[in-house]
A = this chain, B = another copy of it.
């Protein structure tokens, strides 16, 4: 299907099925859009009732077209579409765009129709966009195809835009026109019955005119496949194509609106966040961010570091931009003394020569040019933000021209903000025409620079492979099989421990003791203090039934605790089957962390990390990753929680052994990948000791599917 995507984007000939003689219809709009867009191939309108449309000869059906056809654009009522598709198939048409609505999104018969469409496109190996979409635009001069019913054709550029909302597509095209943003491809995916976001990513990966990919999605057809494709794109540093995605339905309410809108069942937001993080996709929170960031990627190189230099003709905006830059993770570059010496030669003595460089309110283009030229050569500067306020003598257009001159062919990114709307407009136009990203407000420029920096850090960071640990998979599966046979969904602690031992987790010495005597014997063996926990297939929350005793210091205490526990459980959970108690080595003190896993139907196994305690629970300060998890990703998960500093050691405590935690995360990832019957794992807490001293699973449980 994907191999025929070129027929959709670069067709030599197009059949417009349902071409109408009436004005103000969708098909007529598409017809004129194609003609006015300067489409480079041959266009065949298909309409059994018309001889010609706007002077172009009409054909009664696709089969009656004398030549071969690459792409069919279908704009007829949905119930006629399966038959029409069959004809296209027989004609050998491999590219299809279905504009018409009336499919999955209306429910009932529409769902049936969409299934028929899917079957037919599979049968004929067609590349399909839609149904229920705005269409496809390829502004690339090789094709110049405007096969959409938007109001105009965007200018050619290097940004590909994929959208699940046609209406947002029209809005973005309109913003882009105002901002002078050009596109390499525009695809309104509609119901995604054929090509989906991951297929389009695959296609765009090798599209030579696409440099940046932006997308708006409400759900994802196959997140794991998307992860794979997007990772491939991001790992290919020689063919860098940043992907910027906006995924709506972040909040529960938003997700509800999403499902009532497209019938799509949106996955939970944390999973998408993990997905994007993991494959280096930049997530835009707002439409503004989507545009801001893609514009910068389209025209500027990636910064090597986060040292920004700000050039301004006014102090106040310089301070604001500094505030924003620091907030977003940049730092102010310290200029080389040689640069400052140069700057002093032509800037007035009242200038500020410490970053932000203030060329003073009466600056004209010569000062901006001098400052920029020298700053951009400074090896301590990774990126530049140029600010301008329209003061009384400011020669806005000349300054814009100077910026263009300085920035041409730059190896470090330069973003501009000419503050204002009216007085600065001509300067802004000059910048736009010359592909210098220019922002309305200084904070936007700072945010965008920071996103570029973080993207670079991520892309250039060395990535480790997924570790394959030696594990006794068979032993683990045996435990799981037994539980399944018994019809149990929950593995009691000791069974869970067998599984964890099989995968080499650092567990505590532990013995199932069916009697008080056995418990005392094992406690003597392990050495005091010990912990005693109730063992029952029917008890998940042991504390709730007073089924945990810690710090038992002698044989006597062990026996006393045993008797007490049995009595407690009998009262609090009389129906529970009791297998005995677990006598466990006592963990040394340390920081408590949580590592967990959950299997999702579409995302597969997710691994979670967080610090222990109620604070973290309340603040939801956890990080997720989709298995398999590379070691570098596991380390990133640990570093990315807000409470990470605690693991680095606070109040004189030593730094924790985060390598040992990362090891647990990777092992858990492998366990989830290999034992598909496991639904959830909860290792809470893992006690982490000082660097080099490892960690111990103090409590952990496994739930089966």
The reply to whether the CB of A80 lies closer than 8 angstroms to some CB of chain B is no
Of A298-306, A403-411, A418-426, A476-484, the segment with at least 4 beta carbons within 8 Å of chain B is A418-426
Per-residue 0/1 for A431-445: is the Cβ within 8 Å of any B Cβ (1 yes, 0 no)? 000000000111110
Contact, CB under 8 Å: A323 / B249: yes
Contact, CB under 8 Å: B615 / A419: no
The reply to whether the CB of A618 lies closer than 8 angstroms to some CB of chain B is yes
The reply to whether the CB of A251 lies closer than 8 angstroms to some CB of chain B is yes
**A393 cross-chain contacts in B, Cβ below 8 A:** 24
Contact, CB under 8 Å: A616 / B614: no
User: Which chain B residue shows the least CB distance to A421?
Assistant: B178
The reply to whether the CB of A116 lies closer than 8 angstroms to some CB of chain B is no
Of A13-21, A524-532, A639-647, the segment with at least 4 beta carbons within 8 Å of chain B is A639-647
Give which listed residue, B165, B251, B288, contacts A323 with CB less than 8 A: B251
**A317 cross-chain contacts in B, Cβ below 8 A:** 165, 167-168, 171
Most buried by B among A249, A261, A320, A444: A320
User: Which chain B residue shows the least CB distance to A442?
Assistant: B287
Per-residue 0/1 for A254-298: is the Cβ within 8 Å of any B Cβ (1 yes, 0 no)? 100110111000000000000000000000011110000000000
Q: Knowing A392-B29, A421-B179, A618-B650 touch, does A258 contact B319 (C-beta < 8 A)?
A: yes
**A22 cross-chain contacts in B, Cβ below 8 A:** none
The reply to whether the CB of A149 lies closer than 8 angstroms to some CB of chain B is yes
**A253 cross-chain contacts in B, Cβ below 8 A:** 322-323, 325-326, 331-332
User: Which chain B residue shows the least CB distance to A164?
Assistant: B316
The reply to whether the CB of A522 lies closer than 8 angstroms to some CB of chain B is no
Contact, CB under 8 Å: A313 / B618: no
Q: Knowing A287-B419, A390-B171, A441-B287 touch, does A254 contact B319 (C-beta < 8 A)?
A: yes
Per-residue 0/1 for A141-178: is the Cβ within 8 Å of any B Cβ (1 yes, 0 no)? 00000000111000000000001111110110111011
Give which listed residue, B171, B248, B318, B645, contacts A389 with CB less than 8 A: B171
Q: How far is the CA of A545 from the CA of B334 in the complex (A)?
A: 42
Q: Knowing A287-B441, A614-B646 touch, does A316 contact B167 (C-beta < 8 A)?
A: yes
Give which listed residue, B29, B257, B314, contacts A168 with CB less than 8 A: B314
Binding site for B on A (CB under 8 A): 24, 26, 29, 106, 149-151, 163-168, 170-171, 173-175, 177-179, 216, 218, 246, 248-254, 257-258, 260-262, 285-288, 313-320, 322-327, 331-332, 350, 352, 354, 356, 358, 361, 389-393, 419-424, 440-444, 611, 613-619, 642-643, 645-646, 650-651
What are 13 contact pairs spanning A and B, CB under 8 A?
A171-B314, A171-B390, A177-B421, A177-B422, A248-B316, A251-B322, A251-B327, A254-B319, A257-B322, A615-B616, A617-B650, A617-B651, A619-B643
Q: 20 extra interchain contacts, Cβ-Cβ under 8 A, other than A164-B316, A168-B316?
A: A24-B393, A151-B392, A151-B423, A165-B315, A170-B390, A170-B392, A174-B420, A175-B419, A177-B421, A248-B323, A253-B322, A254-B326, A257-B318, A260-B354, A286-B441, A288-B443, A614-B651, A615-B615, A618-B643, A619-B619
